[in-house]
Structures are given as C-alpha cells and as structure tokens.
C-alpha cells in the first residue's frame, strides 16, 4: 500500500498531480512563445484612448507607436508614464504611424486622484469646461457605485467644483471614507448623486499631467529553442506570483478580514491611511479569492478576446493549481509530502534501518479544519463572483 511504500515511491505519487499541472503549463508556455510570441516591454503601441483625454483631442490614434515625448526617446510604457507625470503644458509627441514619423502637438490636462484605504482610486481630470471622471478599473468599487468614465463632476460632497483645487477642499469635507459625487453624463441629463465608499479615510494626491492612452504590447514570436528556454524563466515567475498570492489571501489577518467583511458587508482596509492604488500590494477588491464561477467567467471573456489570452489564462491556472496543491497540509498532496519527509527525517535521525511510520490519524482534525475553511471561503467567493462579478 501507499503507507508501506518506500520514501521515493510515496514522494513521487504525492507530487504527481502538481507535476502534471506544471508540465502542462510549460508546454503551453512553449506554444505561447513560439506561435503567438512573448511580451517585450519596449515593444508597444497606443491601445485604448481615454474619452475626452488629451491624446484623443490632439489626434493620437490606437496603433501609433510612440517614438519620443517632448524630445526624449521613449522606452517601456511605465517609463513613458513617468515622463508624462513630470511634464506639463503643450508637448510634442512623435509617433510612427503606418511607417511614417508624425509629430503631434498635445496640450496635456491635469489629473488628480481621490484615494482611500481600500486600494481603489477615483481619477478626476481637469479639462476645458470643468472636472470629469477619468479612467476607471472595470468592475471596481467606483464603477459599481455608478461612476463612469467621461461623466462631468459638478459637485463633491454637495460643494460645487470646477477645478482640482476646489476638488481638494471638497474632499476634505468627506465623512470617514465616503465621497459623494454629483455627476452628469451629458449636458441635457439631470445631475445624479453617486456615493463612493473608499474605506475609513480619504484624501487627494498632488495634481499630475495626464495624456490618456493605454498600451497594447506587440508580441514577438520566438524560435522553438528560445521559446523552451524562455518558458522556464516565465514559469519561475508564475510560481513566485502564485506563492505570493496564496500567502496574501490566506494570511490570517487578510483571511479574517475577507470573511468578516463579506458576511457583514463592511469594507476591508488594506492600508492604515489613504494610499494610491499603485502603492498598495493589492486592493480589497482584487485581493479576494475567486471561485470556479469567477474563473470560468474570466476565461470566457478571454476566449472572446483572443486565443493567446486564453492560453495565458490556462498557463496561470495550471501553475496556481500545482502550487496550491503543494500546501503542506492535509488533505493537499503537499500534506502527504510533508508527512513523507518528516518520516524520512525521523528514520535518518534515529540511525535505524527500521521504517518509521507516523500516526496520520492525529492529522485528521487538521484536515477537517482545512476543508471547512476552504468550503467557507469557496462559498463566499462564489457569492461575490455572482453578485459583484470578476475584474481582471
């Protein structure tokens, strides 16, 4: 039987499931890199344009490849964002459009962020005619509350606002972490009041310049040998990300906050003071577990978009399942690995050739506890996926 088998046999049986998931992930990585390509952070073009943003008003187009910004060469998209934030006024953006170099003068607008303690922001743009709601993360807290990109903001907390300085003063009047926005979709529409809960406290960031472009990375196919090498480095990054994600979600304070917050409906803070979303490890929305319902919905969305995205999702899913199954607790395979290793250590320490067999029945209460926790978390995750949806 399994319990009487040698150490090597027990170990190989215990890790077989995760090994299959890892092998499938590696094969899919090779397929992804060789057939569709690998992301090169320096190879990107303009993707989505923010409605009413400076880029759209200036005439930049989706598919343009940015060559320089205000006379400075452009590297990765993150570096480009840094160049924008430190600029102001009118700048010259040089792009490659259908093989031709085009210089587009752009009058940058100002942006501010209303930040809270839940890792979610509300972007506010100052443009001609007043303040407008900037880009929102899909299915984020502000979007679920009723805000939409492009809405004009006429009041904050009941105070009329027309510029970022007035916004800053109005946000200071917020009660705890709730901010009330009075918005209009069109000039003919009646104003609508939208209350957004951003946690236990709110604040605003310093104004920065805003262009209003997203990035669409250009995939570069690799040769089969190079794709095989690249797959291992990418696999390692995926394993590290899975370990970090599991540790974050099942960290006792985080897990307790998720359970109590979901049951009571109270918000879960991820920082002790108002902090921009990009500076926190994970938002209270994105940091929650996702059930099989959410995973299927997310995968269906990716299928509709692009086969490459679906393969990427399957890679991430297989890596995660493989890592999750190696958690060193029963009833996971990692629990059986831990028991086998423990027994081997006891055999070596005793100096005896006699096989040491531990009493696994003592671990049954632990296994029951793990199953109960997973069942509760899974049911709550299903509830949230059904009522709130899933965002990327």
DSSP at 175: B
DSSP states along 196-218: EE-SS--EEPPPEEE--EEEEEE
Packing angle, helices 333-350 and 7-31, rounded to 10: 140
Checking if the pLDDT of 389 tops 60, the result is yes
The HSE-up count of residue 122 (CA atoms within 13 Å, CB side) is 36
Architecture of the 110-207 domain: Roll (2.30)
pLDDT, mean of residues 235-260: 85
First to last CA, the chain: 45
Beta-carbon contacts of 115 under 8 Å, excluding residues fewer than 6 positions away, are 121, 198, 202, 203, 204, 205, 274, 275, 276, 277
Query: In what helix (H) or strand (E) does residue 350 lie, and over which residues does it extend?
Result: helix 333-350
Residues 6+ apart with CB under 8 A from 294: 381, 382, 384, 385, 390
Task: List the domain boundaries for the chain.
Answer: 7-37+222-335+372-388, 38-108+213-220, 110-207
Residues 6+ apart with CB under 8 A from 132: 52, 124, 125, 150, 151, 152, 153
Which of the four pLDDT bands, split at 50, 70 and 90, describes residue 265? Answer: low
Tell me, what's the pLDDT at 302?
A: 63
Burial code of 317-329, b = ≥16 C-beta within 10 A, e = fewer?
A: bbbbbbbbbbbee
Q: Establish whether the linkage from the previous residue to 380 is cis, with ω within 30° of 0.
A: no
Which CATH code of 2.60.40.10, 3.30.70.270, 3.50.50.60, 2.30.42.10 fits the domain covering 38-108+213-220? 2.30.42.10
**Percent of the chain residues past pLDDT 90, beyond the cut:** 40
Environment class of residue 167 by beta-carbon count within 10 Å: exposed (0-12), middle (13-18) or buried (19+)? buried
Contact residues for 177 (Cβ-Cβ < 8 A; gap 6+)? 116, 117, 118, 197, 198, 199, 200, 201, 202, 267
273-303 burial, b for 16+ CB within 10 Å, e for fewer?
A: ebbebeebebbbbbbbbbbebbbebbbeebe
Residue 99 tokens, joined: 């093989």
Residues 282 and 271 sit within 8 Å (Cβ to Cβ): no
- Mean pLDDT, the chain, whole residue set: 86
User: In terms of pLDDT, which residue wins out, 18 or 313?
Assistant: 18
Q: Is 325 helix (H, G, I), strand (E, B) or coil?
A: coil
Q: What Rg value do the Cα atoms of the chain yield, rounded?
A: 26
Tokens of 186: 């069109």
Report d(CA 25, CA 320) in Å as an integer.
Answer: 10
**Confidence class for position 367, pLDDT limits 50, 70, 90:** very high
Looking at mean pLDDT, say which of 21-25, 71-75, 240-244 comes out highest: 21-25
Q: Do domains 38-108+213-220 and 110-207 have the same CATH topology?
A: yes
pLDDT of residue 120: 86
pLDDT at 53 over 90: no
Say how many CA atoms lie within 13 Å of 293 toward its Cβ.
13
Question: 250-261 pLDDT, tens per residue?
Answer: 888 777 777 777
Q: Please give the Cα distance from 115 to 168 (Å, whole number).
A: 11
Burial profile 101-135: b = 16 or more Cβ within 10 angstroms, e = fewer: eeebebebbbbbbbbbbbbbbbbbbbbeebbbbbb
Q: For the whole prediction, is pTM greater than 0.75?
A: no
Q: Cα–Cα distance between 46 and 55 in angstroms, integer?
A: 10
In this predicted structure, what is the pLDDT of residue 253?
77
């Amino acid at each position: 039987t399994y319990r009487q088998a040698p150490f090597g046999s027990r170990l190989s049986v215990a890790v077989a499931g995760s090994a299959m998931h890892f092998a499938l992930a590696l094969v899919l990585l090779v397929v992804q890199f060789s057939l569709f390509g690998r992301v090169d952070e320096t190879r990107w073009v303009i993707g989505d344009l923010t409605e009413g943003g400076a880029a759209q008003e200036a005439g930049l187009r989706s598919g343009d490849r940015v060559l320089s910004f205000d006379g400075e060469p452009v590297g990765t998209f993150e570096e480009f964002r840094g160049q924008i934030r430190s600029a102001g006024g009118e700048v010259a953006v040089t792009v490659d459009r259908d093989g031709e170099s085009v210089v587009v003068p752009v009058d940058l607008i100002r942006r501010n962020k209303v930040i809270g303690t839940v890792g979610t922001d509300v972007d506010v743009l100052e443009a001609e005619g007043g303040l407008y709601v900037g880009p929102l993360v899909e299915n984020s807290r502000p979007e679920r509350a009723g805000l939409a990109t492009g809405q004009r903001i006429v009041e904050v907390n009941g105070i009329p606002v027309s510029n970022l300085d007035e916004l800053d003063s109005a946000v200071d009047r917020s009660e705890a972490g709730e901010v009330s926005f009075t918005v209009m979709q069109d000039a003919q529409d009646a104003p609508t009041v939208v209350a957004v809960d951003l946690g236990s406290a709110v604040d605003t960031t310093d104004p920065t310049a805003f262009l209003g472009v997203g990035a669409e990375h250009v995939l570069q196919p690799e040769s089969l040998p190079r794709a095989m090498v690249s797959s291992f480095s990418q696999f390692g990054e995926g394993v590290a990300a899975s370990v970090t994600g599991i540790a974050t979600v099942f960290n006792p304070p985080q897990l307790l906050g998720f359970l109590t917050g979901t049951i009571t409906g109270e918000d879960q803070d991820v920082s002790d003071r108002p902090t921009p979303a990009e500076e926190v490890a994970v938002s209270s929305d994105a940091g929650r577990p996702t059930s099989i319902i959410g995973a299927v919905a997310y995968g269906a969305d990716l299928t509709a978009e692009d086969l490459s995205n679906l393969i990427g999702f399957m890679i991430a899913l297989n890596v995660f399942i493989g890592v999750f199954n190696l958690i060193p607790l029963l009833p996971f395979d990692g629990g059986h690995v831990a028991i086998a290793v423990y027994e081997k250590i006891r055999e070596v320490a005793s100096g005896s050739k006699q096989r040491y067999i531990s009493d696994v029945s003592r671990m049954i209460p632990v296994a029951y506890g793990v199953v109960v926790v997973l069942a509760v978390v899974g049911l709550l995750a299903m509830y949230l996926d059904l009522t709130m949806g899933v965002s990327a």
